[in-house]
Chains A and B, each alone.
Chain A
Amino acid sequence: MHKALLLIVIPLLSYGFWLSDTFKGIAAGISIFLFGMLSLEQGFKAFTGGVLERILQKTTDSTWKSFGFGFVSATLMQSSGLVSVITISFLSAGLLDLVAGIGIIFGSNLGTTTGAWLIAGLGLKVNIATYAMPLLVFGVLCIFQGGKQLKGIGYILTGLGFLLLGIQYMKESFEHVGNNINLANYAMPGIKGLLIYTAIGIIVTVIMQSSHATMLLTITAVSVHQITYDNALALVIGANIGTTATAIIASVGAKIQGKRLAGSHLLINLFTGIFVLLFIKQFTIAVDIISTGLGISIKDNALKLATFHSLFNLTAIIMLLPFINQIATLIEKILLEKRSNIFQPKYLDSSAMNFPETVVESVRLESIHLYENAIHIILHTFGLHKRDLLSDSTSIKQLIAQNNDPIDYDIDANYEKRIKGIYSAIIAFISQARFSWEMEQSSQLSWLRDANQNLVEAIKDTKHLQKNWTRFRVSTNQATIDEYKKIAYQIVLHLQQIENFRHKIEENELPLLSLDALKATIEDDDMQMNRTIETLIREQKITPENGSSLINDSAYMRHIKKNLLKTAETLFIRSYTGAAKAEQQLTLNDAEIKDVIHTMDTQ
């Protein structure tokens, strides 16, 4: 949620809580419900890449199987809302595609009508909320166990528990609202009554978060002639539309696929509702005929309502199921994926594919774009900005030393936003532009691909380093703080040196050979850092545990610097010229660089 919006929402909610306990209960119910959704998603993710895909693949690989899966699960769970919520989690975790998801929705729409038969015929109803407590207990028990899959089961159970608990909370909060709705006082004939009662059905179901509750209310009312049969039909139509609210609420925190499924659910049920309202007379006649055929008394309005509920859902399925792919396409067009937040490639254009030189240059420019984003992430991890690289080294050292504020920088989120889209596009572009191996451009593309990979490695190492950097930069041990700040400083200084090298490359007569000095600095810094850590441990200025963390993080620092330098070498030096090729022969290898450092050290 946008931070500014949060500033408005929080006081508003607080005022609402102060005003009404019912409102507080509803808000808590929605929060618990949404938390259950998150837990359910996390649980399903634990099974991705294994068993769950195989089960889902086998049970949802055709429209009819998806339909069957939806029907069976909705019949067992007695809640189409819950089935769509679970399906949204499947979709958000990438276990299902939208078409299979819609198939499940169709199945659950029919499966949920069995509830009306149970209420009307047997007077029974499975109270889903009673399962919440044991689900939570077993769920938490599983979460505390080892094993990824057991934890996953735990999250699914607690997720389901919280979902049911959330619904229960909402129901309880609206209990007095439900009691106050005396339908007998509002009987209305004709089209006006039909429309108003459909609207009431929608509102009551949205409020109660359960079409079963509305069905129970309606069937009970119609059986004791509190409301007319016609008004009851309208309430059932409304309940069928209102039940989509559960999925819509669940999709708030879900990804676009989840939102699309909730949208499809609404679209299908809304279409069904409008269709039934248009042909209500024909449906009433059909219900009478079918009821007579089933041996239901013409006066048993309760069972006739159950027949009506099943009949119109079945009609909608017969009408819409053959167009399942078209529904998915339509909803994908209506609910577009927001991509504005993810950085997109700037220089890759498929029209360049036939021109090898242009392809190489496009990839080089795009890789520089990626490099810019990578250094943004690295600098922000250490609480700095790109502009800070323009300062002299002493100022950078001071900036890092004096900054004791918490740095809450999400590398994963920024990797998704700034790197993944561009990196994937570069890889896809290179793989499309494969020239014959004899061509010089082919090897250049291969180097560029390696350079991009090095950049990604540097970000991953920064992420590993961030864990201890965030922890130890505010530690109580000054020596540990100093060493971690030294690590940050050396990485930033290295970035500055690369930037200086990059911007003065035209003046540099021997660019490739001058990088050997930077390579030597990396090795020297590493050697000095390890030596300092050993001394600090020996003098008991830091604990061996902190020392081992520092040694690991010093290794990450070395990898980050080496990867960045390799990238710079490929991106900023045109290594295919004759002069660069000759220079390449004279560069020192790792062993020679290390030899230089050791010789200097012993002097």
Chain B
Amino acid sequence: MKKEKLLHKLQAFFDTDNHKKRQHIKELKKILIKLKKKERKIAHSLLQAEDDCLIKQYQTELKIIRLQRMKGIEILQQLKERTKHIKSVSQVKP
């Protein structure tokens, strides 16, 4: 049993397609963290802004970042589900 598990792990490691997917998930997570930071920064600037034009600009940027984050989270969930599905299929005994 242990040997089989080890073999699966090795197989997954050498599977380039799977490796790419994992990398992609990592990249997406990094971007989402950066977006979150950016969102906080702009929200802070918005609180301090007094000029109407600037307020509108910050509000638009916030709205865009939120939409981008929502998109990112959605894609991330789909990717994770797909990876789980592949994992579960490959773990089923023949």
Taking beta carbons and an 8 Å cutoff, which residues of A are in contact with B?
509-510, 513, 516-517, 520-521, 524, 578-579, 581-583, 585-588, 592-593, 596-597, 599-600, 603
Are A585 and B75 in contact (CB-based, < 8 A)? Answer: yes
- Complex interface: chain A residues within 8 A of B34 (CB): 509-510
Between A and B, how many residue pairs show CB distances below 8 Å? 61
Q: Is B8 an interface residue (CB 8 A)?
A: no
Q: Apart from A587-B68, A596-B63, what 10 extra A-B contacts exist at CB < 8 Å?
A: A510-B38, A513-B65, A516-B64, A520-B64, A579-B31, A581-B27, A586-B69, A586-B71, A588-B71, A593-B64
- Shortest beta-carbon distance from A599 to chain B in Å: 7
Are B75 and A596 in contact (CB-based, < 8 A)? Answer: no
CA distance A416 to B1 in the complex (A): 74
- Choose among A521, A578, A581, A588 the residue that contacts B67 (Cβ–Cβ < 8 A): A588
Are B27 and A596 in contact (CB-based, < 8 A)? Answer: no
Are A578 and B27 in contact (CB-based, < 8 A)? Answer: yes
- Shortest beta-carbon distance from A406 to chain B in Å: 32
- Shortest beta-carbon distance from B26 to chain A in Å: 9
Are B60 and A517 in contact (CB-based, < 8 A)? Answer: yes
- Choose among A509, A581, A596 the residue that contacts B60 (Cβ–Cβ < 8 A): A596
Are A579 and B30 in contact (CB-based, < 8 A)? Answer: yes
CA distance A572 to B58 in the complex (A): 24
CA distance A583 to B27 in the complex (A): 9
Are B67 and A592 in contact (CB-based, < 8 A)? Answer: yes
CA distance A599 to B67 in the complex (A): 12
Which single residue of chain B is at the shortest CB-CB distance from A524?
Answer: B60
User: What total of chain B residues lie within 8 Å of the partner, measured CB to CB?
Assistant: 22
Known contacts A509-B34, A579-B27: does B68 contact A586 (CB below 8 Å)?
yes
- Choose among A524, A582, A600 the residue that contacts B24 (Cβ–Cβ < 8 A): A582
Which single residue of chain A is at the shortest CB-CB distance from B28?
Answer: A582
Are A510 and B35 in contact (CB-based, < 8 A)? Answer: yes
Which single residue of chain A is at the shortest CB-CB distance from B23?
Answer: A578
Which single residue of chain B is at the shortest CB-CB distance from A577?
Answer: B27
- Complex interface: chain A residues within 8 A of B68 (CB): 513, 516, 586-588
Are B27 and A582 in contact (CB-based, < 8 A)? Answer: yes
Are A582 and B31 in contact (CB-based, < 8 A)? Answer: yes
Q: Is B56 an interface residue (CB 8 A)?
A: yes
Which single residue of chain A is at the shortest CB-CB distance from B56?
Answer: A600
Are B61 and A517 in contact (CB-based, < 8 A)? Answer: yes
CA distance A98 to B81 in the complex (A): 70
CA distance A585 to B68 in the complex (A): 9
Are A600 and B31 in contact (CB-based, < 8 A)? Answer: no
Most A C-beta atoms less than 10 A away, residue of B38, B60, B69: B60
Are B64 and A586 in contact (CB-based, < 8 A)? Answer: no
Q: Mark B24-51, 1 if CB is under 8 A from A, else 0.
A: 1001101100110010000000000000
Which single residue of chain B is at the shortest CB-CB distance from A597?
Answer: B60
Are B67 and A600 in contact (CB-based, < 8 A)? Answer: no
- Shortest beta-carbon distance from A500 to chain B in Å: 14
Interface pairs (24), CB distance under 8 Å: A509-B34, A509-B38, A510-B35, A510-B38, A513-B31, A513-B35, A513-B68, A517-B60, A517-B64, A520-B64, A578-B27, A579-B30, A579-B31, A582-B31, A585-B28, A585-B72, A586-B35, A586-B68, A586-B69, A586-B71, A587-B68, A596-B63, A597-B60, A603-B59
Main secondary structure of the interface of B (DSSP, over half): helix
Are B31 and A583 in contact (CB-based, < 8 A)? Answer: yes
- Complex interface: chain A residues within 8 A of B64 (CB): 516-517, 520, 588, 593, 596
- Shortest beta-carbon distance from B69 to chain A in Å: 8
- Shortest beta-carbon distance from B50 to chain A in Å: 17
CA distance A592 to B65 in the complex (A): 12
Are B28 and A596 in contact (CB-based, < 8 A)? Answer: no
- Complex interface: chain A residues within 8 A of B27 (CB): 578-579, 581-582
- Complex interface: chain A residues within 8 A of B23 (CB): 578
- Shortest beta-carbon distance from B41 to chain A in Å: 11
- Complex interface: chain B residues within 8 A of A583 (CB): 31
Are B60 and A586 in contact (CB-based, < 8 A)? Answer: no
- Complex interface: chain B residues within 8 A of A510 (CB): 31, 34-35, 38
- Complex interface: chain B residues within 8 A of A578 (CB): 23-24, 27
- Shortest beta-carbon distance from B92 to chain A in Å: 30
Which single residue of chain A is at the shortest CB-CB distance from B42?
Answer: A517
Are B63 and A599 in contact (CB-based, < 8 A)? Answer: yes
- Shortest beta-carbon distance from A133 to chain B in Å: 67
- Shortest beta-carbon distance from A501 to chain B in Å: 14
- Complex interface: chain A residues within 8 A of B35 (CB): 510, 513, 586
- Complex interface: chain A residues within 8 A of B60 (CB): 517, 520-521, 524, 596-597, 600
- Choose among A524, A579, A585 the residue that contacts B71 (Cβ–Cβ < 8 A): A585
CA distance A524 to B67 in the complex (A): 17
Sorted nearest first, the 4 A-B pairs with minimum C-beta distance are A582-B27, A586-B68, A586-B72, A516-B64
CA distance A587 to B70 in the complex (A): 11
- Shortest beta-carbon distance from B36 to chain A in Å: 11
- Complex interface: chain B residues within 8 A of A509 (CB): 34, 38
- Shortest beta-carbon distance from B88 to chain A in Å: 25
CA distance A600 to B72 in the complex (A): 22
- Complex interface: chain A residues within 8 A of B56 (CB): 600
CA distance A599 to B64 in the complex (A): 11
- Complex interface: chain B residues within 8 A of A588 (CB): 64, 67-68, 71
CA distance A581 to B67 in the complex (A): 18
- Complex interface: chain A residues within 8 A of B31 (CB): 510, 513, 579, 582-583, 586
- Complex interface: chain B residues within 8 A of A582 (CB): 24, 27-28, 31
- Complex interface: chain A residues within 8 A of B63 (CB): 596, 599-600
- Shortest beta-carbon distance from A19 to chain B in Å: 68
- Shortest beta-carbon distance from B72 to chain A in Å: 5
Are A586 and B75 in contact (CB-based, < 8 A)? Answer: yes
CA distance A231 to B25 in the complex (A): 98
